[in-house]
Chain A
Amino acid sequence: MAIYRSSDDINNLRIRVKIREVPDESAHDEAKEVNEDIDGETKMIDWQQKIYGKFEREFYKDKKNCVTDLEKRYHQDVVNLIQNDDVLFTYVNEDEFSLVAEGCVSNSKIITELHKQVNNVLFMEDEQEFVFKNTDVFDFKESLIHSLKNPFGSYNFETMHIMADLGEYVGDTWLKAEYILCTIKYDRTQKLFIVFPDFTSFEPYYIQIQGDVRRIFQYYIENASETVPIDALLKENEIVNKIAAYQAKLKLQKTGINFDLPSKNKLNVYLFIELLTARKFEYNDIYVQYFIDLPKDWFCKDPSTLKGTTQTSHSSSDDNLSYLGFPFEICLEYNIQDPAGTHLIKTPCIYFEVISKDSWDRFRTEGLTYTILPVARPGSYRYNLHCLRICPKGPYSNLRRFFIGDCSSYNDITWTSVPEQFDSKVINKYGTDTVGTGEISIHINVVHQSQNFMADTRDEASCKHDKFILENLNKSSLIKSIEQVVEAFKIAKRKMIEVRKNV
């Protein structure tokens, strides 16, 4: 079965049907000879074109059989018709020929009722897009009208069957044996037509008749509609292109063609960080402070975004799970053309401090943690950071923490990673007592932007997913700057030669 859609008029549909009896290889030779001379029959059939079968011709010829207007009209037709022995004929929509196989017959009452409901609803012509049309206000009346106009999925099919009467004469009477070659259904409103079976491509369809002698027929169904002339096609294409161009223009008018670019030899790293949750901390009502430490060569246009504080979050669950849901956005700049050009990029770190605040405004440090920002590669990252806090030494500090609260009992938050002014060979944190506390989860989205990326994305689009920042910068900036120098030198040289020639 095939379903086609065409905005064209259905009357342009034309189908060529070819039927031919083929010899049955397994049968006896005598049968073969008889069938050989039949050349087959070909007919061009238009949509809803009535062709009378042998039986129908006999039937309608007799005026007594014709009662209804339709039958009388058929009678007129048949009388004027020249007799022939064609096997192909059609049943059109008006004939009300229906198949038992079509739509399985159900004996349950439910389906018939439903069937009736679906079929009884009005069906109107215009199919309008309701959903995306003035969606601001829900208008009950409009919705009601619309739902009456477009009841769900009810197709209003006109049907046409292409048949073959492959009967035989037994004595003087024609024993009819009608076979459906092809059924075509068309829905005028949706411009949809269903061909069953589909048009033949290479292999024909076969019909086998079991009788005294086995007979095999093969037939082809072909779409013989006139094709659209080529200049009309071109014209249509042109119009489509014009519309597309107009739409693109409209879009441009809204936003403009420009896009903010970082200045040359700068790499912009956009970080979209979300503080998601904090859990398992000792005290309730916590908030988180964050702070980003920028090493050499990194800048931030708005340094105030580098640190911040979340709201105080109260939790009522067992493991003190609190939702922070705190998004922030940072734009960092990295200067690519470093005079040294060889040293490795130091990556910035983000530090977190979790602090609890109780109803008496006592603040306690609950945990410290840090992570290196994933600036090396753009993408989306999720971290679960485990926190620690520095143990108060001795009973006095413990009591202090319990009764008065302790906060900022350390000098430098960067201590948790490598301290800022650290330049010895071994990192030594011995002598400090810490205790593991809870954990916080964060989500970071990283985007890079640099003019250096602009050229080389085109040619290596295939491997773009596995590039790292260092590789990129090496390839694009350093080598390119050398190439630029060479290029400039070449141009200068050429000019010089030209000037010389002229002289």
Chain B
Amino acid sequence: MSDGTFLLSLSGQIDYISILAGAGSSWHCKYEFVAGPDWKIVGGLEAGLSQTANVVSNGEDIVLNLPIDIVYKSTNLHGWPQIVLSVYSGINLQGYGRSHIPLQPGLHKLNISLSKPQPSSFLGYLGTFFGYQPELLQPKMLASTAGNNLIQMMSSGEVYVTINNVFQGLNILGYDIGRVN
């Protein structure tokens, strides 16, 4: 690999969602990967949608075990891939979450906090009484470092994700990612 590129291979799964879930509700989750312009997907899927998981008793974890598998190729560390999650209950949004993919090889257990947007106008506030839940047009925008102009969010829960990542050719390029523990 002398052409200045390196590979990042990710595999893992979205294990479960820990959120206030009432009995009888059904949940699903979608994920998408966001990476910088120098990053190219060479294998796997950059987005996915889970099955619908039903909650039987109050407050239990929503187990999804949705597999993730993607291989990136890049010349630049900038724009390191991030995973963006959107969790829905029925067709109502319950939260967005994002996280960088760990920068150290090995097995990682991430826990990604979710938050959902709050209405910013009075009309929107009124709408919440009728079950209106504001959503983002582009959940990907959470992964950009651009300002997101005072969106108001409320923490809602956590998603547990297991990720196994392998690098190839990063050390040859002279990058030192530190001791791996």
Bound-state Cα–Cα, A86 to B43, Å: 35
Interface residues in A106-157 (C-beta closer than 8 Å to B): 106, 108, 110-111, 113-114, 117-118, 129-132, 135-136, 138, 143-144, 146-147, 152-153
List residues of chain B with CB within 8 A of the CB of A143. 137-138, 141
Whether B75 pairs with A247 at a CB distance below 8 angstroms is: yes
| Docked pose: A136 CA to B145 CA in angstroms | 10
Of chain A, the residue at the smallest CB distance from B26 is A110
Assess the A240–B3 pair: CB atoms within 8 A: yes
With A5-B42, A241-B3, A244-B75 as given contacts, are A135 and B145 in contact (CB-CB < 8 Å)? yes
Cβ-neighbour of A3 out of B45, B143, B147 (below 8 A): B45
**Per-residue CB proximity of B82-95 to A under 8 Å, as 1/0?**
00001010110000
Task: Tell whether, in the assembled complex, residue A4 and residue B138 are in contact, meaning their CB atoms are under 8 Å apart.
Answer: no
Distance in angstroms between the alpha carbons of A130 and B142 in the assembled complex: 12
Cβ proximity bits B43-58 to A, threshold 8 Å, 1 near / 0 not: 1110111011000000
A148-172 vs B, CB cutoff 8 Å, 1 = contact: the mask equals 0000110000000000000000000
Known contacts A135-B144, A136-B146, A153-B32: A147-B48 contact under CB 8 Å: no
Query: In the complex, are the beta carbons of B146 and A138 less than 8 A apart?
Result: yes
Partner of B138, one of A111, A114, A130: A130
Closest CB of chain B to A295's CB: distance in Å? 31
- By a CB distance below 8 angstroms, the chain B residues around A131 are 34, 138, 140-141, 143-144, 146
Known contacts A114-B91, A132-B37; A152/B47 CB under 8 A: yes
The digit string for A262-303, where 1 denotes a CB below 8 A from any CB of B, is 000000000000000000000000000000000000000000
**A189 sits at the interface (CB 8 A):** no
Q: Number of B interface residues, CB 8 Å?
A: 39
Q: How far is the CA of A117 from the CA of B45 in the complex (A)?
A: 21
B119 within 8 A of A: no
User: Are B52 and A108 neighbours in the complex by a CB distance under 8 Å?
Assistant: yes
Within 225-255 of A, Cβ neighbours of B (below 8 Å) are at: 237, 240-241, 244, 247
Q: Count contacts on A: residues with CB < 8 A to the other chain.
A: 32
Q: Contacts A138-B149, A146-B138, A465-B179 hold; do A106 and B47 have CB atoms under 8 A apart?
A: no
| Set A110, A146, A247: member contacting B90, Cβ < 8 A | A110
A138–B150 Cα gap in the complex (Å)? 12
Most chain A beta-carbon contacts within 10 A, residue among B36, B90, B138 = B138
> With a CB–CB cut-off of 8 A, which chain B residues contact A147?
137-138
A304 to B85, CA, bound (A): 50
Q: Which of A144, A152, A247, A465 contacts B32 (CB 8 A)?
A: A152
Q: Are B43 and A4 in touch, CB under 8 angstroms? A: yes
Closest Cβ–Cβ distance, residue A459 to chain B (whole Å):
16
Report the minimal beta-carbon distance from B86 to chain A, rounded to whole angstroms: 8
Complex Cα–Cα for A198 and B41 (A): 19
Determine if B79 is an interface residue (Cβ-Cβ < 8 Å): yes
A153/B47 in contact, CB under 8 A: yes
Q: Give the chain A neighbours of B26 by CB distance below 8 A.
A: 108, 110
Asked if B22 CB lies within 8 Å of chain A CBs, one says no
What is the chain A residue whose CB lies nearest that of B78?
A: A132
CA distance A110 to B86 in the complex (A): 17
Residues of B with C-beta under 8 A to A237: 3
Q: Which of B32, B91, B137, B149 contacts A110 (CB 8 A)?
A: B91
Provide the residues of chain B in CB contact with A118, threshold 8 Å.
49
- Separation of A4 and B49 alpha carbons in the complex (Å): 19
Chain A residue numbers with a CB within 8 Å of B44 are 3
Closest to B70 in A: A3
A134 CB, nearest partner CB in chain B, Å: 9
A117 to B26, CA, bound (A): 17
Which residues from 1 to 46 on chain B have a C-beta closer than 8 Å to any C-beta of chain A?
3-4, 26, 28, 30, 32, 34, 36-37, 41-45
> Are the CB atoms of A5 and B43 closer together than 8 Å?
yes
Contact present for B47 and A111 (CB under 8 Å): no
User: In the assembly, what is the distance between CA of A500 and CA of B170, in Å?
Assistant: 54
Shortest beta-carbon distance, A241 to chain B, in Å?
Answer: 6
Residue B148, interface by CB 8 Å: yes
Residues of B in contact with A (beta carbons under 8 Å apart):
3-4, 26, 28, 30, 32, 34, 36-37, 41-45, 47-49, 51-52, 69, 75, 79, 86, 88, 90-91, 137-141, 143-149, 179
Can you add 14 more A-B contacts, CB < 8 Å, to A108-B52, A111-B52, A114-B91? A3-B43, A3-B44, A3-B69, A110-B52, A118-B49, A130-B138, A135-B145, A136-B146, A138-B147, A143-B137, A152-B30, A240-B3, A241-B3, A241-B4
Could you write out 23 A-B pairs with CB less than 8 Å apart?
Answer: A3-B69, A4-B43, A5-B41, A5-B42, A108-B26, A111-B28, A118-B49, A130-B138, A131-B141, A132-B37, A132-B144, A135-B145, A138-B147, A138-B149, A146-B137, A152-B30, A152-B32, A152-B139, A153-B30, A153-B48, A240-B3, A241-B3, A244-B3
